[in-house]
Structure formats: structure tokens, C-alpha cells
Amino acid sequence: MMASAIEPVRLDAWLWAARFFKTRALAKQAVERGRVTLAGAALKPSHPVKPGDALRIVRGEETFEVEVTGLAHKRGSAALAQTLYRESETSVEAREAARERRHAERTGYQPPPRRPDKRARRLLRALGDIEAH
């Protein structure tokens, strides 16, 4: 449900409605930890959001730079959530580059084809990589 321009919407509720976080409690926690900023300033979860606000949202390893375009009190469909904000081109490009970099870092890692046998476990324990039970 879209809110009218007169009704203020709490920041944590907007983040939840725009589907940046799965629960409102997670959104509140992110705001309290300073992972959501408005023009570089830390906010409170109860801060009123209005169209035109430029938010920087850090979620895990991803960083979103968005402009608020709509308000909502309730969580709706993903299509509706995407109408509540507009992400900047630089933000999209930076997230894609970071995703590719993380993928490239993991590319060299090959998990072992099977569990280590008794001899290999003893060697690993000798190296100090595995705790003895």
C-alpha cells in the first residue's frame, strides 16, 4: 500500500517495505549500527523518509546508493518495492564489479574431492589445522 506524501514513514519501515531487509527488526538493527546514512549522517530508525532523500545502505558485502521515489508503510510485492527507490548507475556498476571480484577470488579455491583419510587427518593435525577430538 502506497502512503500519501503527507504521512511520514519511518526509515526502518521503509527499508523493510522496499525489501532491503527481510524483517523490520533487521532494518532497525542496520540503522542503529550506522549502515544506513543520509548524506553521510547516521540516522535513527524513526527518522522520517521523504521522496528525494539519497540513502546509502550497506547490507553485508553490498552497498546501495538509492534515491527515495515513493513511500510505503506495508511490504508489498517485489515489483512494488522496486518503485519505491531508484539506484544510481555508479552504485549498480560498483556492486557488479565487487560481485565479479568476489567470484574471481573464489575461483582458485577447489574443495577436496573427498574427505581426508586417516593418514591425511594425522598430517593435518600435525600442521595444527584440525583440533584433535
Q: Using alpha carbons, list the distances in angstroms from residue 83 to 17, 70, 104, 109.
A: 11, 7, 32, 39
Encode pLDDT of 50-59 as tens digits. Answer: 999 999 999 9
Encode pLDDT of 75-115 as tens digits. Answer: 999 999 999 999 999 999 999 999 988 888 877 777 778 88
**Ordered DSSP codes for 59-121:** ETTEEEEEEE---BSS---HHHHHTTEEE-HHHHHHHHHHHHHHHHHHHT----SS---HHHH
**How far is residue 62 CA from its own chain's centroid?**
5
Q: Where are the domains of the chain?
A: 1-92
What is the per-residue pLDDT for 129? Answer: 60
Q: In which element (H, E) is residue 127 found?
A: helix 118-127
What is the per-residue pLDDT for 101? Answer: 87
What is the per-residue pLDDT for 26? Answer: 94
Can you tell me the mean pLDDT for 5-33? 91
Percent with pLDDT over 70 in the chain? 92
Q: For the domain 1-92, what is the CATH code?
A: 3.10.290.10
Distance (Å, whole) CA 50 – CA 82: 16
